[in-house]
Structure 1
Amino acid sequence: MRTKLVLASLAGATAIAFSFPALSADTAQDFVNKAAVGGMFEVQSSKLAESAAADDNVKGFARMMVTDHTAANKKLETIAGEQKLNVPKALDAEHQATLDKLNGAKGESFDQAYVPAQSDAHDEAVSLFENYSRDGDNAQLKAFAAETLPTLKMHQEKIQTIAKIMEGQTTTGSTEGAAPVSGANSFTEAQAKDRIENAGYSGVSGLAKDDNGVWRGQATKDGKAVSVALDYQGHVTSQSE
């Protein structure tokens, strides 16, 4: 399915996307409460995205969220148990309200709500874990926060890239003869192939990322063999061979 999401369509997402308050934790129990609720929201909302999302990049991101946050949640629960701290078993009202809104959306409407919600949630998670890893009052939880932080920052970067594409700053369209833009490319090989195919190419093969962060390979379009490229912004470009 070829999907093009633009800034105008994002305006409608504001009705179902929430911005969570800035997070910090003064005590170990406070950190556990906020980290656990945030982690549960990531898993539950992303399980919805696996079936409700329209864009392949959103679905791929959601699968990663389920895997990574399920593992982090289990580790947090283990450490909290060792420290005799309570772990919340349900979302707070604000996260639950966002989840309920997501549960009523599907396709592009879901994407337009899920991506801003994930961007906000990861901004807050990075802030929470960064602050606690530096100033926390429990050694084991500080170590957990420091260990988990790089993964959260990676998630934050990926969802920001997806958000930029949705905002219309980039598109999945193709441009004959145009030059790809250099930059750190977070697309996996499978995601790059999907985006190129969604732009109307077939027989995509030989994909490799060059020193400029551009995925390059070969493909066919309109019966002609072409050299194809995908840059970090999601632009697909090609040249006749």
Structure 2
Amino acid sequence: MKYRLLMIASVLALGACNNKADNGNPAVDNEATTAAAPDITLPHLTLQPSDARGYLDKAAAGDSFEIESSQALLKTSKNPAVRSFAKMMVSAHQESSRKLQAAADKLKIAAGSTTLSPDQQQKLDGIKAADAAHVDELYLASQRSIHTDALDLHKHYASDGDTAALKTVAAGIAPVVQKHLDELDKLGRQGDGA
């Protein structure tokens, strides 16, 4: 959280610097100065949805990515520890999908869309195209990124969501996602020879 706040402050400071007139000359067009600013993309600095529809869609897409990427990994990887983790991901994310679907059904709203974001699709395509020598590294990196975002999504919705029944589901899913991140840490230590 401190990292995110620091990054936000840095971006705001950069934006303020870009809005100053050139060499104190007020005649310089601030719009042109701002347009020339670099495009800065910050990891995991996305606003999470607080509405039921946004939450369900993002959670469903995340589960879909986890399942599809894990199934793709299982076709290529030879590493027993990574394969075991992938099998756990398929099972766990099928379960969270069932919980979200059940909550949506009770609320009489449509289930979340499983359409992947462009970033998720790019990561999935990379995993599918990777050879056995590189697939584990790509898969584990994508798992770290997607699970970090998912943890933020579920925690945010559990505290700030607009639908009580979904807040309860989100609060139940968040610790499971944290366990997945802990497992990724263990896999990383094993890969480092620890």
The two structures have a TM-score, normalised by structure 2, of 0.72
1:55 aligns with 2:94: no
Shift of 1:78: 2.2
Contact 1:122 1:152 in 2 (8 A): yes
State the alpha-carbon separation in 2 of the partners of residues 21 and 85 from structure 1.
27
Unmatched segments (≥5 aa) in structure 2: 1-42
Change (3 A) 1:28 1:145: same
Aligned sequence identity (%) = 28
State the alpha-carbon separation in 2 of the partners of residues 54 and 108 from structure 1.
9
Q: What is the one-letter code of the residue matched to 1:40?
A: S
State the alpha-carbon separation in 2 of the partners of residues 27 and 134 from structure 1.
12
Change (3 A) 1:86 1:151: closer
User: What's the counterpart of residue 21 of structure 2?
Assistant: none
State the alpha-carbon separation in 2 of the partners of residues 55 and 20 from structure 1.
29
CA deviations on 1:191-241 (whole Å, 9 max, x unpaired) are: xxxxxxxxxxxxxxxxxxxxxxxxxxxxxxxxxxxxxxxxxx3xxxxxxxx
State the alpha-carbon separation in 2 of the partners of residues 33 and 134 from structure 1.
18
Q: Post-superposition, which runs of at least 4 consecutive aligned residues in structure 1 deviate over 4 A? A: none
User: What's the counterpart of residue 130 of structure 1?
Assistant: 155
Contact 1:132 1:142 in 2 (8 A): yes
Partner SS for 2:49 = coil
Greater strand share, structure number: 1
Alpha-carbon RMSD across the aligned residues, in angstroms, is 1.7
User: What's the counterpart of residue 120 of structure 2?
Assistant: 95
State the alpha-carbon separation in 2 of the partners of residues 20 and 42 from structure 1.
17
CA deviations on 1:69-125 (whole Å, 9 max, x unpaired) are: 011112212212332134213222221111111100131300110001001111111
Q: What is the one-letter code of the residue matched to 2:92?
A: D
1:147 aligns with 2:158: no
Contact 2:100 2:111 in 1 (8 A): no
Greater helix share, structure number: 2
